[in-house]
Copies of this chain bind each other. A is one copy, B any other.
């Protein structure tokens, strides 16, 4: 990671931010039992305890070691809590993270606090710009894991027939979705990507030119009500709507609704949320759909809106990215998309785009081990833009590139329609 990638904050501000971000991770774990924190529900997900430990390992390995000359406090844990950094040595296999009943939660928390102390002490010594940049990277990294804590926990709890709640949430009245409007863009030569101000991940740059054809983009995400119409119209049964791989997934997985949806005893649809099982609310943005489902929905919707499709990431950035987020960032503790009452820009659900996750022209991974952070995943995944009800406040930006494989459904992933203009 070139230290020129983003300007260092001044150390005192960074210390305050460090305290805040690290505390929020712990706050997310409040009320969870050690049992809730140790189990891994699928190879793609990780236990809460592992997230808390891995983010700490990240600071020890990439900051305190190389920048502060401090060897790890728990060297024997390095093998357990390295995620995928080949340069940092061998590691515990990802699908077996749930076997790690030891060290117990209490020891991990104690270690977290010792590492925090060391980081604070290090910040008090006016560290180099590079060191500060790495701490900033670590904080952004931790925020990503905060969202994963929530999505992984949701997946875990959903596998329990008791349908347990993580956090209580008041019931909401059902409401209709607002009408759909379109924002138009005339096309032409545009510039996207990180402009050099503030923090960004390496994959958001370099800033570069793209040519856009005229297009329109919806003024809100697709809602559960619209999704119910897609389902009622046989959307999950008509192969002509689906990509070939998508149709194979529908049949292999038996998909007939978004993840976490279930038809209840009365024939209505309910969804598992982090507050337990709730009726599907038509006004909510739909979440937990795969790229395949989002793409099929758009094809279905083109009967109503000619040429409906997913936006490219450049289209999204030039339109939605320029709007003020209307999502839940001000209150990052809802953990469920809010019902819409009018136009809604980004922040409720991650929005699948039609763009493959590939390098921007001239992209170079950050240098050193953190160069493995993003670049090596540029294969087989699709870009999502925006941010979700589970994204920490202040974490995302218009240039932010999230990415997941096209079949993934356990994230808060929804969609927004676009269409060509003549």
Q: Bound state CA distance, A210 and B307, in angstroms? A: 21
> A237-259: which have CB < 8 Å to B?
239-240, 242-247
A380 B159 Cβ-Cβ under 8 A: no
Q: Does A99 contact B (CB under 8 A)?
A: yes
A376 B242 Cβ-Cβ under 8 A: yes
B245 A379 Cβ-Cβ under 8 A: yes
Q: Closest CB of chain B to A32's CB: distance in Å?
A: 9
Chain A, interface size category, equals: 35 or more
B39 A245 Cβ-Cβ under 8 A: no
Of A128-136, A260-268, A356-364, the one with at least 4 CB within 8 A of chain B: A356-364
Q: Closest CB of chain B to A210's CB: distance in Å?
A: 6
A35-B37, A213-B208 are contacts. A378–B102 as well, Cβ < 8 Å? Answer: no
A379 B246 Cβ-Cβ under 8 A: yes
Q: Bound state CA distance, A378 and B355, in angstroms? A: 11
Q: Closest CB of chain B to A94's CB: distance in Å?
A: 11
A161-B80, A211-B209, A361-B420 are contacts. A243–B33 as well, Cβ < 8 Å? Answer: no
Q: Which chain B residue has the least Cβ–Cβ distance from A164? A: B102
B245 A380 Cβ-Cβ under 8 A: yes
> A80-108: which have CB < 8 Å to B?
80, 84, 86-87, 92, 96, 98-105
Q: Bound state CA distance, A23 and B310, in angstroms? A: 44
Q: Would you give the 0/1 interface string for A375-401, flagging 1 where the beta carbon is closer than 8 Å to chain B?
A: 011111000000000000000000000
Contacts of A307 in B (CB 8 A): 364
Contacts of A420 in B (CB 8 A): 361-362
Q: Bound state CA distance, A157 and B364, in angstroms? A: 42
A98 B98 Cβ-Cβ under 8 A: yes
Q: Bound state CA distance, A210 and B314, in angstroms? A: 13
Q: Would you give the 0/1 interface string for A261-293, flagging 1 where the beta carbon is closer than 8 Å to chain B?
A: 000000000000000000000000000000110
Q: Does A162 contact B (CB under 8 A)?
A: yes
Q: Bound state CA distance, A355 and B295, in angstroms? A: 19
Q: Does A156 contact B (CB under 8 A)?
A: yes
A39-B39, A376-B242 are contacts. A159–B96 as well, Cβ < 8 Å? Answer: yes
Q: Does A305 contact B (CB under 8 A)?
A: no
Q: Does A184 contact B (CB under 8 A)?
A: no
Q: Does A34 contact B (CB under 8 A)?
A: yes
Q: Does A182 contact B (CB under 8 A)?
A: no
Q: Which chain B residue has the least Cβ–Cβ distance from A376? A: B244
- Cross-chain contact of A103 among B156, B162, B406 (Cβ < 8 A): B162
Contacts of A358 in B (CB 8 A): 354-356
Q: Which chain B residue has the least Cβ–Cβ distance from A80? A: B161
A36 B101 Cβ-Cβ under 8 A: yes
Contacts of A291 in B (CB 8 A): 379
B356 A243 Cβ-Cβ under 8 A: no
Q: Which chain B residue has the least Cβ–Cβ distance from A189? A: B211
A99-B39, A161-B80, A213-B362 are contacts. A33–B104 as well, Cβ < 8 Å? Answer: yes
Q: Bound state CA distance, A103 and B420, in angstroms? A: 48
B377 A243 Cβ-Cβ under 8 A: yes
A-B contact pairs, 19 of them (CB 8 A): A34-B35, A35-B101, A36-B102, A38-B38, A38-B39, A39-B39, A39-B101, A76-B161, A79-B161, A80-B160, A80-B162, A86-B247, A87-B240, A102-B160, A210-B211, A244-B377, A245-B379, A291-B379, A354-B358
Given contacts A41-B99, A76-B162, A209-B211, 14 further A-B contacts (CB under 8 A): A33-B101, A34-B34, A35-B37, A35-B104, A36-B101, A86-B239, A101-B156, A210-B211, A213-B361, A213-B362, A243-B376, A292-B379, A309-B359, A380-B406
